[in-house]
């Protein structure tokens, strides 16, 4: 059985649909402790067996990079919401979804797992992401909300 979990940023210019064989309750919920994620209250999820589709109105996604500069944090250009983090890994776009940024239903009331990745080397980071992140398709199109 497959689930389609959908949400969108505050203004609706960016929509995210997570296709996953799992129910929301069975997906991880992570609170990355880096300064970017903490200040935004980001809570992320991903399913290596799932697929993330992001629909963004043309010109509505800004990309922000910091630290190792290998990750694009996708921000709505209109409302500023942090939607997802993506990185190209071996030619494929992989990423995690910010449950908070798109107000994804089904995660309410859960205690997230605090994650600290500061000590990772770039290689360890890549290996972790290959293990946990999911394929992402980013499509520029007016979201069909
Ligand atoms: Zn927005």
Identify the CATH number of the domain in which residue 71 sits.
Answer: 2.170.150.70
Quick: pLDDT tens for 114-137: 999 989 988 898 899 999 999 999
CA of 19 to the centre of ligand 1 (A): 21
pTM: 0.93
3-state DSSP assignment of residue 40: helix
42-95 tens-digit pLDDT: 999 999 999 999 999 999 999 999 887 889 999 999 999 999 999 999 999 999
- C-alpha 65 to ligand 1 mean position (Å): 19
Going from the Cα of 96 to the center of ligand 1, the distance in angstroms, rounded, reads 18
DSSP H or E run through 125: helix 122-132
Domain-located, residue 145: no
Q: Which tokens belong to 33?
A: 């402790």
Number of domains in the chain: 1
Question: What is the domain range of residue 60?
Answer: 3-140
């Amino acid at each position: 059985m497959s689930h389609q979990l959908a949400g969108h940023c505050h203004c609706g210019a960016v929509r995210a649909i997570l296709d996953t064989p799992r129910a929301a309750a069975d997906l991880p919920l992570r609170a990355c402790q880096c300064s970017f994620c903490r200040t935004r209250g980001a809570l992320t999820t991903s399913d290596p067996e799932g697929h993330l589709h992001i629909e963004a109105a043309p010109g509505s996604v800004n990309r922000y990079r910091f630290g190792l500069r290998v990750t694009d944090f996708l921000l709505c250009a209109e409302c500023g919401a942090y939607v997802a983090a993506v990185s190209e890994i071996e030619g494929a776009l992989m990423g995690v979804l910010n449950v908070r940024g798109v107000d994804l239903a089904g995660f309410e009331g859960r205690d997230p797992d605090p994650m600290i990745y500061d000590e990772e080397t770039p290689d360890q980071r890549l290996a972790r992401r290959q293990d946990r992140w999911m394929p992402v398709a980013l499509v520029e199109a007016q979201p069909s909300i």
